[in-house]
Amino acid sequence: MTDFQFFIEAFEAYTAELNIHEYTLHQFDEKQNFYKTKGDIRKAVFRVPPVSFYDRLLCQKAFNLEPEEIVGRLQDHVEKVYYHHDGVVVVYSSKPVTKEVYLSVNDIIKSLLK
C-alpha cells in the first residue's frame, strides 16, 4: 500500500489530493468564486489534480457517478485509477509534471466524467 492510500484510510478521507502549491497560488480568487457560486463545498470538486481521491458520496455529488463508474470511464486515459476505501483513487501521473500539464488535468478528467 502507498502512503497516499494509508492516509486516506487513517483519516477516513472524504477527499484527498496531492497539489503543487506554486502551481495553484494564483487560483485563490477563482476558488473563492467557485465555492460562492456552487454553494456547499462538500458537493463540488474545484480542481482535479494529478493525484486525488474522492469517496462515494463526493463522487455522487460532484460527478453524479459511482466510484466504479469513474474507474470505468478513466481506466484507459490515466496512469492508474482504482476503487479504494469506498471511493476512487485517480492517478493521472505519478511522476512530476509541468505546470501546463498540471493545470490541464482538471479539464481532461472532468470532460471524461461528463
Question: What residues does each domain of the chain span?
Answer: 3-112
d(CA 59, CA 21): 24
Rounded to 5, what percent of the chain is helix, strand, coil? 50, 15, 30
CB atoms within 10 A of CB 83: 14
- Exposed (0-12), middle (13-18) or buried (19+): which is 90, by Cβ within 10 Å? buried
- Exposed (0-12), middle (13-18) or buried (19+): which is 114, by Cβ within 10 Å? exposed
One digit per residue, pLDDT tens: the chain, 114 residues?
579 999 999 999 999 999 988 888 777 777 788 778 776 667 888 889 999 999 999 999 999 999 999 999 999 999 999 999 999 999 999 999 999 999 999 999 999 999
What's the pTM value of the predicted model, to 2 decimals? 0.90
* Residue 1 pLDDT: 56
* Residue 39 pLDDT: 66
